C-alpha cells in the first residue's frame, strides 16, 4: 500500500474475465481502482472484487455516460481511464507515477495506443499512434456523453506523452461481429438524432470507400492479413451503420410524424 500513488483508475466492464486480470495487474500502483460493471455473466465482478477494486453494478447507459459514472466514483484528484482490454506497460507506469507524485505541468495527458490484433501490432490505417487522452485532473475534465466513440475532454493544457498504452483488441470474428452490430446501431441512432439521413446505395458506397481508403491509401496492406481483415471489418461496420441509418430514414418517410430527438 505504501508504494501506491494517489491515483484513481476508472474501468467499465461486461464479461471481461479474460482481459481484466492483465489490466488490473498493470495498474496495481494506483491507490484506487473503480470498476463499473453492466451485467457480466462471467467472473468479471468476482475478479475485480478479489483484486480490491471498488465495484459498482449499473445498467448500461452508453459508453460515455458509463465511463463518466466510473469517473464520478473516483476519490483522487488524478484519474486514469482504461478499457478492460488495455494495460499500462512498466515504462508508462513510471511516467504516470512521476506526473502524479510531482508537480504536473498540465491538466491532462495523452498517450499513443499500441493496438494488437491477431497477435500483431497494427501500425497503419490509423491504428498507430491512435493518440488518446486518458490521464487527467478530475476538476478539469470529464468524459463526453456520446453513446459510442466517447472521449475525455480537458479544460486546460494537455501534454502528449511518448509512452504508450497497450490495447489487445478481440481477434475472434464472432465477437467482432457482435460488436459491429452494437456499434453500428449506436452510430446510426446518433447520426439520425443529428439529422443525418442515408440510403442503401450510400451505405454500399461508403463501405467500399472505407475499405479502399484503409487498405491502400492508409497502407493497411503493410500489416499483412490482419491489416486486410481490419480494413474489411471497418467497411462492414460502415455499411451496417449507414444501412441502419437508411432504415431509420425509410421509417420516417413512411411515418412523417416520427421525429428525431433534436427536432
Q: Are residues 196 and 113 in the same domain?
A: no
Residue 88 lies in a domain: yes
Neighbouring residues of 26: CB distance < 8 A, sequence distance ≥ 6: 87, 88, 89, 93
Nearest to 135, CA basis, from 103, 110, 160, 157: 110
- Last residue in a domain, options 134, 168, 202: 168
Using DSSP, state whether 93 is helix, strand or coil. Answer: helix
Pairing verdict, β 54-57 and 30-37: parallel
pTM of the model: 0.90
Choosing from 168, 195, 216, the residue where a domain stops is 168
Quote the domain boundaries for residue 133.
Answer: 5-168
Count of the separate structural domains present in the chain: 2
116: domain CATH number is 3.90.550.10
Read off the pLDDT of residues 94-140 as tens digits, 9 standing for 90 and up: 999 999 999 788 999 999 999 999 999 999 999 999 999 999 999 99
Q: Is the pLDDT of residue 263 over 50?
A: no
Amino acid at each position: 500500500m505504501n508504494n501506491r500513488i494517489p491515483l484513481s483508475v476508472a474501468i467499465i466492464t461486461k464479461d471481461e474475465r479474460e482481459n481484466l486480470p492483465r489490466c488490473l495487474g498493470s495498474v496495481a500502483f494506483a491507490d484506487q481502482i473503480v470498476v463499473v460493471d453492466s451485467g457480466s455473466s462471467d467472473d468479471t465482478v468476482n475478479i475485480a472484487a478479489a483484486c480490491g477494486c471498488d465495484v459498482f453494478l449499473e445498467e448500461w447507459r452508453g459508453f460515455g455516460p458509463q465511463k463518466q459514472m466510473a469517473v464520478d466514483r473516483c476519490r483522487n484528484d488524478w484519474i486514469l481511464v482504461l478499457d478492460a482490454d488495455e494495460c499500462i506497460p512498466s515504462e508508462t507506469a513510471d511516467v504516470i507515477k512521476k506526473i502524479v507524485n510531482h508537480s504536473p505541468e498540465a491538466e491532462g495527458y495523452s498517450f499513443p495506443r499500441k493496438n494488437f490484433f491477431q497477435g500483431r501490432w497494427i501500425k497503419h490505417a490509423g491504428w498507430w499512434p491512435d493518440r488518446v487522452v486518458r490521464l487527467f485532473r478530475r476538476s478539469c475534465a470529464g468524459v463526453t456523453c456520446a453513446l459510442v466513440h466517447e472521449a475525455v475532454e480537458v479544460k486546460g493544457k494537455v501534454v502528449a506523452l511518448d509512452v504508450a498504452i497497450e490495447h489487445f483488441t478481440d481477434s475472434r470474428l464472432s465477437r467482432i461481429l457482435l460488436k459491429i452490430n452494437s456499434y453500428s446501431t449506436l452510430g446510426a441512432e446518433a447520426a439520425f438524432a443529428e439529422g443525418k439521413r442515408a440510403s442503401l446505395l450510400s451505405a454500399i458506397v461508403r463501405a467500399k470507400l472505407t475499405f479502399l481508403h484503409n487498405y491502400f491509401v492508409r497502407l493497411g496492406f503493410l500489416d499483412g492479413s490482419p491489416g486486410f481483415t481490419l480494413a474489411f471489418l471497418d467497411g462492414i461496420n460502415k455499411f451496417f451503420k449507414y444501412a441502419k441509418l437508411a432504415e431509420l430514414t425509410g421509417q420516417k418517410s413512411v411515418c412523417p410524424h416520427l421525429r428525431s430527438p433534436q427536432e
